[in-house]
Structure 1
Amino acid sequence: MHSTHFRHQLYLHGSKIVVSFLLLMGLAVSPTFAQINSTVNLPNFDEQHWHYGFLMGLHTANYRLEYVDDYVTPEFDTLHSVVPPSKMGFKIGFIVDYHIFETLDVRLTPTVGFNQLQLNYRYTNGKILEELRDPTYVELPILLKYKSVRRRNRRMYFLGGINPSFKAASSKEREDTDRLLTKNFNLSVDVGIGMDLYQPLFKFSPEIRYSFGLLDVLAEEQNDFSAPLQRLTIHSLAFYITFEGGPSTFRRKGGKYKR
């Protein structure tokens, strides 16, 4: 059931990657805090209406399920439970941010998310059947970003919005019906919190975001994997780092460029 795809190697060594990720973030943040009481970086950054950038993130995702009413009948007397463990994945994407006014932005962050989603079917005889899927989703989150007042080189923010996503299904996956079948479209509500850290040449932001799945992703076609399930949604918790710049980080003044 498991392959040697490089994404699976990422999940296998997920804890090492998270530690390395946090260390890199700490190295990037430390220069900013060292300058809090001295230089004000990018003083005109938030006066620009458009900002662009990219993001990278690690996330854990899992199914949330509801059983069918017939689950307590003799038809499923050998099935003890269906357990959805959390699995690690990663995301990469771009940022298009429009500054509405001082404390509010609207942003579009088209993202590609590489996931592992699993259900463990536990039977009364002790047997466990693992059903593992590794879908790739193209996500198009539309978010509102509410920001605090800037304190020198930092400012906190909250964000929230909707996140429609489309599964990039391969032809092999479409032909493989002896698996858990899910729909190709999902919709979730995303909420998060982060901090903008202004560097000399760009803005760096660590961010935590939770995604609540709204739609039932179970396919209409039934098989043994979906028989005990009434509803299946996807939830995830993600940690991102974002890098943003503006169309003109520097402004020309008196024949010289001034930051």
Structure 2
Amino acid sequence: MHTSYIRHQLHIYRYQVVLVLLFVVSMASSPAVAQVDGTLNLPRFDEEKWHFGFLLGLHTSNYRSEYKDDFVTPSFDTLHSVVPPSKMGFKIGFIVDYHIFETLDVRITPTVSFNQLQLDYRFTNGEVIEELRDPTYVELPILLKYKSVRRRNRRMYVLGGINPAIKAASSKEKESKDRLLTKGYNLSLDVGVGMDLYQPLYKFSPEIRYSFGLIDVLEDQPNDFSAPLRSLSIHTIAFYITFEGGPSTLRRNSRRRR
């Protein structure tokens, strides 16, 4: 019984487990992690006020739903539950980082997030209706990054901040009102942890971040899909790989390409 329960939990959170494993493996396999007594890479990197770069990310997202009080009334006696499974997506974006002092940065990371969000409507007769949406969000996370003291070519960090997002227009959603309708914006609280790994020409950072939805994204246009729900929020766990350089490293890399 206990073993089957563990397997069930791993099946539910399989995407999150994969992302955490990717984060651990990426840090453990990096040359900079193993380099303890080697050359100090980018020794003046943190003296520069501005850093720029880009990021790539994989994430899993799911709705967190809250039922209406009417859900326990006879009007919903054929609907057993509404279950939000986790679905994979990916992100791409840019990094603008300002160095405040030795251990604190503020960063803005304009990002395009490609999502899949689903609700499974499970009925008492065994029927399941899957309502899958694939919104694209333009996000603008504003984050504070608190860093440990640099140890040779690596340093740990934690970060947190707010993440406002606007949904890109979707022609499919406008075509039919007989679908789950959500608002065109979102706001989340982002917290994460990562490691800066200083390479000879750039800084590479694996990072894992959790986004906690702060607002109800359920559109106020009742239909069959929204009828049993009081609210919906979006929660995401993401694994990022970031690449950064300062003005001097960017100029040096440009000269090398010539």
| TM score, norm. by length of structure 2 | 0.86
Q: Give me the whole-angstrom Cα distance separating, in 2, the residues matched to 1:175 and 1:129.
A: 20
Do the aligned residues in 1 keep the contact of 2:173 with 2:181 (CA within 8 Å)?
no
Higher helix share: 2
Question: Within 5 A, what are the aligned runs for 1:102-113?
Answer: 102-113=102-113
Partner amino acid for 2:90? F
Moved more, 167-176 or 55-64: 167-176
1:101-180 aligned at under 5 Å gives the runs 101-180=101-180
Q: Give 2:202's aligned amino acid.
A: F
Letter in 2 for 1:192: G
Find the aligned partners of 1:218 and 1:64 in 2 and give their Cα distance. 11
SS at match of 1:63: strand
Aligned to 2:211: 211
Matched residue type, 1:69: D
> Cα gap change, 1:101/1:27 in structure 2, threshold over 3 Å: closer, same or farther?
closer
Q: How does 1:54-73 map to 2 (within 5 A)?
A: 54-73=54-73
Unaligned stretches of 5+ in structure 1?
Answer: 1-13, 253-259
Conserved 8 A contact 2:135-2:170: no
1:76 corresponds in structure 2 to 76
Percent identity reads 77
Q: CA deviation at 1:87?
A: 0.4
SS in 1 for 2:146: strand
SS in 2 for 1:172: helix
SS of the equivalent of 2:75 reads helix
Judging changes above 3 Å, is the alpha-carbon distance between structure 1 residues 126 and 214 closer, same or farther for their aligned structure 2 residues? same
Question: Does the C-alpha gap of structure 1 residues 128 and 151 become closer, same or farther in structure 2, counting only changes over 3 Å?
Answer: same
1:184 corresponds to 2:184: yes
What do residues 144-198 of structure 1 show as CA deviations (whole Å, max 9, x unaligned)?
A: 0000000000000000000000000223322221110000010000000000000
With over 3 angstroms needed to count, the CA separation of the structure-2 counterparts of 1:250 and 1:108, relative to structure 1, is: closer
How far apart, in 1, do the equivalents of 2:62 and 2:222 lie? 21
Which residue identity is paired with 2:102? E
Contact map agreement 1:29 1:197 (CA 8 A) in 2: no
Aligned to 1:38, what secondary structure does the other structure show?
A: coil
Instruction: Give 1:49 deviation, angstroms.
Output: 0.3
Give yes or no for contact 2:148–2:157 (8 Å, CA) kept in 1.
yes
Cα pair distance change 1:132/1:46, threshold 3 Å: same
- Displacement of 1:28 in angstroms is 9.6
Encode CA deviations 1:46-94: one digit per residue, 9 max, x unaligned. 0000000000010000000000010000000000000000000000000
* Change in 2 beyond 3 A, CA 1:233/1:155: same
2:27/2:33 contact within 8 Å kept: no
2:35 alignment partner AA: Q
Question: Unmatched 5+ residue regions in structure 2?
Answer: 1-13, 253-258
Q: What's the TM-score, normalizing by structure 1?
A: 0.86
Letter of the structure 2 residue corresponding to residue 214 of structure 1? L
Aligned to 2:32: 32
Q: Note the C-alpha offset of 1:38.
A: 1.3
